[in-house]
Structure 1
Amino acid sequence: MSQAVLASETNRRQLQQIISGLSDGVILAELDQSILWANEAALTMHGLDDISALGANTGEYAERFALRYRNNHSLSLDSYPLSRVASGEEFSDVVVEVTPAADPERTWVHRLRSLVLTNSAGKPELLVLILSDATEWASAEQRFEKTFNANPAPAVICRLSDLRYIKVNQGFLEMTGYNRDQVIGRSVYELDVLEQAERKALAIQRLGEGSTIPQMQAELKLPDGSSKLVIVAGQPLDMSDEDCMLFSFTDLEPRRKAEIALRQSEERFAKSFRLTPVPTLVCDAGNQQVVDVNEAFMNLTGYTTEELIGKSIADIDFVDNGNAYAQLFALLEKAGHLDGQDLQIRKKGKEVIDCVVSADTVTLQDTTCYLLVMMDITERKRSELELVTAIEEVMQDASWFSQTLIEKLANAKSVNRPNLPNVSFTDLTARERDVLGLICEGLADKEIASRLKLAPNTVRNHVATVYSKLGVHSRSAAIVWARERGLFAGERRTKSAK
């Protein structure tokens, strides 16, 4: 054996001893791609414990292990790492998936770099492949990829070295209308996700530094030339050993449209509120502070906006009856609305007027309010009182009047007072109904006592109870109350006929 060969073999043994304990895998091959040796780490990365299982050369290795790039493209024989090294190519970061032909369900991910050892004359003598196991890294990256793509929150990732987008998820595509090819590979200058950002200078500074970009509003340009209001934020991350920036977005366009619609609705409400001729007041549902009043309300009450807005209804004290005020808001709190409730309002000069109030619950600028609409019925009440007074004056003895006249008077009273008291005829006892019927026939107390065979005092007590329950104060008012409800008309006509 020549001295040169001995030296060569000694060097190889020393090389093998040096690299056998490395955590990285190392495969040594001749210039003709014959596989000479592999350390334990390289064998483990192939699921082997014997070097012969790797194959004698690149051809046999390719028969036993299928290699694919991460984009799922299979490698041809001349693209296998040993073939590339033998052809003189140098590479430092090639990532491939390695699948044994005998077990297609099993796959490793290797990151490889090449090395060519030369002799003392500087000529290639030995081919070296250095492998690191990237399986866990690839698995983590795959999980990230799945999570990133499945995340409904719109997001893109740009590489900081050239500020080009390398990933985009479905949420971003759906939000903007871009397709994947319109995003991937473009720079942040072409598709500016920070356009019109409220703190754009800060965002650009943070992007240049590769540090976190805080949330801020921005206008995101869309493919059709329009824009969309978004909140954008940036988070630095490492992808495949490259510094990147993850931009995430929140679509504010639905909120902006809702705010515009709400503003338009409130503007329409404000216009109709101010122009309506019906006196109207808006107060806070929580503390009954006056939020707004229209011109008609001020004309009705004599107050000015300065005297009303911001003050509670209780402090202004324009509701004449404290109990009625409490009942009004108790009903509103319970039901949220009310229709046609009588209420007496005290004007600024202390004059009291009769009103009918209707109210409903509305929301203004995220505040729950009550909308109170008032109708002045003072003149109608005055007419009713004048009518009742006239009836009482002329009907001191109802027996003087024919049934037809009584019914006409009752009908006139009914037209002027459509809202009848809530008392029902059934609220009276049987004896009280008998007494009321005889009153409607025009009988005096003594006649009623004789007809019912009762003591006069007993009849007077029954009459007083009937008045109290019906809310009336005279015989004529009781007769009108009964006629308004169509009671005892048949009996009276029968009596008249006799």
Structure 2
Amino acid sequence: MKFASESDLPLEIVAEFFADVSSALSDGLVLIDSHGKVLLWNNTIQNMTGISAANASGRYIWDIAKETWQYSHEREQMYEESRKFVLDTVNSHSGSLHRRIKFPCLAANGRKIILGINLFKKTFGNEPLLCCVLSDITDLFPEIDSKILFSESQSHEINMRTPEISPQEFLKEEALHISAEKYSRSFRFAPISLTITTLNEGKIIDVNDEFLRNTGYTREEIRSKTVFDINIWESPEVREQILSPVKKWKPVKNREIIFRHKDGSFHNYIFSAEPVRIGEVDCIVSNFIDVTETRKLEKALRVSEEKFSKSFMLAPISLSVTTLEEGVILEVNDEFLNNTGYKREEIVGKTVFDIKIWEPPEDRNRIIPILRQGGRVKNIEIVFRHKNGDLHNYIYSAEPIVLDGVACIISIFFDITEKKKLETALKISEEMYKTIFESSGSAMGIVHNDTLVLVNNGMVTLSGYSKKEMEGKMKWQDFVVPEYVREIRRMAKELATKEVSLINKSEFKLRDSNGNIKDVFCLTTLGPGENQYVVTLIDMTEYNNLLTQINEISKREQQRVGELLHDNLIQYLTGISLLVRTLEIKKQVGRSIELKDIKKIHDLVGESLTLAERLLKGLFLVEIDYEGLPSALKNLATSVNDIYDITCTFEDNGEFDIDVMSATELFYIANEAVHNSVKHGKSTEINIRLYESDCNFILEVSDNGIGIDEKRLKQSEGIGLKLMKFRAKMIGAKFSIKNKKDDKGVMVSCTFPKKN
């Protein structure tokens, strides 16, 4: 092979030149010899396809194309077309050739991507080589026809004889081309606004997508316009002032300016610009970042700080800010000074140990470790010494903050000495009661004279009304279905005449704010105040609906069994009856009874017994108490094998101490999962597995079916799925259903805790 230097270099040397460059590229690079075999396969294309360089080297490129082609039903066609394409390109009379191809393929992680391939044919001496530069262009072509795309590829052939070049010159030429393409893509998709304009006239040469998104313009609206035409600068004079250094060929960095958007709104930007020469024209490359929201936030922060300062000083409770470690007093509010008797100048800058305010001084040490770890101190009782030496009891709260990089404490405390101590203690008690009230997990309300005076979030969820709509305004019977109101009021009156511990229980229906009727279980008991009582409501709607659906299924199952008996077993018995009658008539008329007649009766009886046995298996699915759960699951697998003619296996790892009720529910979960696999999953193989871990028994049913759409699964209202979840909940088990990791089939699992 002859190069421009007239020296003979083997292909391995040429490939080595390419390898040196390819290691620094973020695009894929493939080098192919004149026979279509891969000489070079860099790390980037390896990461894209999952095919290693060792696996690709020496293989025909059309074999790899077939393997990675996105459309599996077209892979044979891809093999033939890619082979013809490569060989035709290699054998073409053109010394140099450039083609662009869009190639849909499967990435290493299984994601479907579109590769943009720049294919270059270069001849080194008499040896043609193909160089492919590959980029992920999926974002540019989110959808692409599944047709083989060689017919759409653009090619540019150089028909004149091309001078022989060295590998170094070729690589330099390709690197320049790749660099230009990368710059264009980086400009277009950069996350900040970029523009190129002429320096003097301000003519817009190019803008990126982020500029258009920010300003509201379309590319057509600004094409061939100047910045003065679209009036984007606050004024021409401002532009002249900002860009004066650029005209002296110096950059402008991080200047704050105001730009006018298409809708006329003004926005704050951080602006930088660099002079460049494009051809013979002086231009500016500008980048700018919209900081309008940042400025608004800064302004809001200043206002907030002012509000905080005023609130701090004028707060009706004592506040102080001290350093965490040394206890240096940085600031106190007026109420602190009024309570303790100090003046501000007497204590600011001193430590709490200097003024001996803590009693005893080491008592401060019990809060420091908590605050040092970022925790809060809330409502603890402490003793402070005032300036006159008097000791006062305080309720103290503190939170760690950082001021100018220094760990500090903002403290809140109020004097509970004498009467205030009792009042504050009562308030704390009420807060604790409210916390319990809010975190109960059920819908709760405190009622006074039938009016809701306090409700928790559970009541908001159940009724659909907000706290604002209910508290102090609504009678809680307002959303109870009318026929139940009299009974509820009777029970409420009853509470006043019975023991305090009395709890009344009832069931009724209520109507939420959207008009939906819900079944609820109600508990009423005496409340915390006079003439008050507490109502607790538990939503039973879903539970009752499920019971109704179970009853409906039971009825349908009864009807199904009746139909099976009528359409199958009774038909056989009728046939037997007719045959017996025929034999009776033969006997009466003196005809002989043939053996084949008796055999018919025998066969029909045998078929009837077989059918009856199958029907009984459907009626008595499981005998947990006698055989145990593993035996029942094994019988289920055998039954599925016989009935559906598919492979259903069962495996376990020992004996299982599971009570009859729990084992029965687990069996029915497995039964439902298996039949769903057959009916909906179109499975040919099902595996039932029962095993134990340290703390749990685990039941798994997996198949090789078509899987499930997990989005649709979350919205599913199917009775089968509800029943499985319901059964798991009844025995305190954790239920899950999901596609298997290999995307082939479904895994249903139920984790049941062992007994202590």
**Structure 1 length-normalised TM:** 0.46
Name which structure has the greater RCO, CA cutoff 8 Å, separation 6+.
1
Is the radius of gyration larger for structure 1 or structure 2? 1
**Structure 2 length-normalised TM:** 0.31
